[in-house]
Each structure stands twice: as structure tokens, then as C-alpha cells.
Amino acid sequence: MNTASSIIGNYEISTGKAEVVADEFRSDAYVLYVNGVPSSHVSIGRPRDLDFEYMRWLAAAIEHFVDAHLDPARLRVTHLGGAACTMARYFADVWPESRHTVVELDDKLASYVREWFDIPRAPTVKIRVGEARRVTDSFKPATRDVIIRDVFAGETTPESLTTLEFFRSAHSSLAPGGLYAANCGDRSDLRLAKAELAGMAQVFEHVAVISDPAMLKGRRYGNIILLGSDTPLPAEGSAEAAALAKPLLAGAVPAQYKDERWTREFFSGANALVDED
């Protein structure tokens, strides 16, 4: 890993340009921009420092699910979308015996982040270069426990990662009862989130969402976390939902967990996207 000051700057990568900018408020912390879009925040030596609020929401949801239903010592997590591997660093620190595969499209970026940041080595964190949909379609059945989709081209997720066929591939690759968690960037009409949930609900027995109140009410562009599993997700009013709500409310941008009943009403009438579209 390079010295702190030496990594700041602009870099040519396979898909365009990357820039590393120092965090003005924290020592040894950086923001990675990919083609002008903030893609990761990394605090060297502090893997549990999650600066992006949606990553804190993902972490809360996944930790709650794993603690309730899975074995951290045998946990296999696939991260579709790599950038600086922030979430893989985080979970590898939370569960040291877990194994992570990060799928990153850009081979030069994958090499750079290994050089710049303190990403655990394989087999703890393995970076696989490839296009996320093709890689997902190649997964063998029941070979992973959690899939995290956080892939963006600019400010939107590639359509090939939002279709019914993609959800079927992800579902097939999960072990029985595993968890699919996606970061959906959407505008105020929430059309994309509803379409994705309509597709997910055809594949996963249970669905739920997490976001901040303004986003859920359609007041702005932002992030909404989509959850799918064949294992029941916490129901409103339950002790499990209350336990999940605590970390979601603790951050600088408080978020709400919405259970399956709310979620199905939310996307009612939406049509799932399919590859032919």
C-alpha cells in the first residue's frame, strides 16, 4: 500500500478516469471518484468507518440477517460492484472467518485499489474482474450466502442488473435462505425501485426496503435498499424489526425499515423489467 499523500490524484482506468481525494475531516481517509461519481470512502486502518449512509443501512440489515440466520464462520459474501471494496473490508473485519468475492468491471481500478488501500488479501477478499451480470450468470447454484449489488454506471444501475432474469440468477446462486441486498439509486418517482421489487417478488418469497423518510415519500433522488430472501424478514411490530431499527436511526441520516406488507403495497401495480426490454 502506498503512503497516504502519494495516492491523491487522477488516474486513467479501463472505463475512464478515477480520482482519489483526501477527506478534509478525517486523517488517512479518502473518497474515490469513478468518472466523476463518488463511489467509495475508505479510512485506512478503520474498516468499520462507513461514511456513506446507504452503506451503513446495508451493514445494519446484513448484520441483523446474518446474526439471526447464518453462520459467520462459514459466510460467503459476493459483492457485485467493487470500487474500493469498502463493504468487503467492513464485513471481513466484523466476521474475520468470512470469505468475500468482489466483482469489479474495471481491471485497472481493481489493481489500483489493492495498491492504495488496506484490503484484506485472498481468500478473505478476492477481487474478480468481470461484468457483473455475466459473472452472476456463471455462478454455480447455492455457492454463496449473501449477494450485495452496488453497481452503477454514472448515477444509475445497468439495466441488465435490474431484470427478472438477473434476479433468478442471483437467487439460484444463493444457498437456501440466503440474502440478496441491493443499493438502488432512484429519482423521486421511485419507478426503478418499484420495478425492481416487482421482479424480486417473483423470485424471492420475502421482500423489504430501507431508506430515509424523504426518499420513501418520493421527495428527492437518493438511495433505497432492496432486500430479498426466502427466509422471512422482520415484520413491523416485532422484536426483530425493533432491533434492526436501532442502528438505522442512529446515523446522521436516519432511515426506516419497511416490512413485506408495506413493500408489497409500495410496488403494487409496477411491472418487472425483463431482458427483452
pLDDT tens readout for residues 213-239 = 989 887 778 899 999 999 999 999 999
Residues in the chain: 277
The three-state secondary structure class of 37 is strand
With beta carbons less than 8 A apart as the criterion, state whether 116 and 2 touch.
Answer: yes
- Per the DSSP assignment, residues forming a β-bridge with 82 are none
Per-residue pLDDT tens digits for 158-206: 999 999 999 999 999 999 999 999 999 988 889 999 999 999 999 999 9
First to last CA, the chain: 43
Residue-level pLDDT at 277? 63
The three-state secondary structure class of 162 is coil
Q: Is the peptide bond before 234 cis (omega within 30 degrees of 0)?
A: no
Low-confidence ranges of the chain (pLDDT < 50): 3
Phi, psi angle pair for 136, to nearest 5°: -60, -45
Residue-level pLDDT at 247? 95
Residue-level pLDDT at 4? 53
Sheet containing strand 16-22, strands side by side? 9-13, 16-22, 29-34, 37-43
Q: Taking CA 88 as the corner, what is the angle to CA 119 and CA 122, rounded to the nearest 5 degrees?
A: 55
- For residues 243 and 47, what is the distance between their CA atoms, to the nearest angstrom? 23
What is the residue extent of each domain of the chain?
47-266
Residue-level pLDDT at 7? 94
Phi, psi angle pair for 184, to nearest 5°: -105, 120
With beta carbons less than 8 A apart as the criterion, state whether 230 and 202 touch.
Answer: no
Check residue 73 and give left, alpha or beta (phi > 0: left; psi -120 to 50: alpha). alpha
- For residues 146 and 170, what is the distance between their CA atoms, to the nearest angstrom? 10
Distance of CA 32 to the CA centre of its chain: 16
> What CATH code is assigned to 47-266?
3.40.50.150
